[in-house]
Structure 1
Amino acid sequence: MSAQSIRLNTVSSNIANAEAASSSEGDTYRARKPIFSAMAHEQMRLQGSLGIDSSGSSPYLSGFDSQAEQAASQGVGVKGIVESQAPLQPRYEPNHPSADENGYVFYPNVNVVEEMADMISASRSFQMNVEVMNTAKTMIQQVLTLGQ
């Protein structure tokens, strides 16, 4: 869920700066993209993302063989955020206040349509993670009531 939150934040930053003009390529905003990497369940346990006890086992993963347990306990973490190396968009606008000596204004390399699609994908992924968490919580609550 935290990875999708970071993804949503970078998308919103890109959309907010999509029309930010600059007089030089060095000062122009560049699209940012998060880089994800798989996290083992040991790393996730340290961050409190899985219900794993101190022995390293999870009540949610009992009954799985070791390979299935390892695959099921993989998560996603943000390795970093990088700037896009796609070319900037120079536009000839000699009357623009930020135009350079040749009359060009540089705009970011943000494709708003791609960013909107990425935003929808991240939002739905986040929503699905919330649904999984709510379902797991409901199941645990029902298991606790079985003993009564």
Structure 2
Amino acid sequence: MQRKISVIIVDDDEDDRHFILRAFQNVGAKHQVMQFEDGEELLNFLTKGEDVEEKVAKCGLIILDVNMHRISGIEVLQVIKSNPLLRHIPTVMLSTSIEEDLVQKAYSKGANGYLQKPNLMDDYNHLVISMQTCFLEVPSVRWSKLA
């Protein structure tokens, strides 16, 4: 029996988290979607507790807002990609800003994608379909340990 893949949404804007979650529901995704208000909550979840290896192994995608209050998405990305336990997790940056310097900084820190937040629900649906295609439909070697 294969375990359900987790998708993690990290955004300090409740509406943005809701739109992404709703898009996963709209497209019929069967993934467990988890939400965190900031990067500190995410990092505590992924690195603390007795079930860290299982949580990390189930994590198929992190969708990370660039601009957050307590710790920026870029800083969280840097922690994720510098941690040997976490660096394999695909991490997509999501922002209203597509400033070239910010996009380049995200990719230089190891982002697997950088996407602009849509304005319409239908565009969120398309965004989620694209992320599923790119990051969640390809089997992962690390899953063989938990299957």
Instruction: For CA contacts below 8 A with separation 6 or more, give which structure has more relative contact order.
Output: 1
TM-score of the aligned structures, taking structure 2 as reference length: 0.28
* Higher alpha-carbon Rg: 1
TM-score of the aligned structures, taking structure 1 as reference length: 0.28
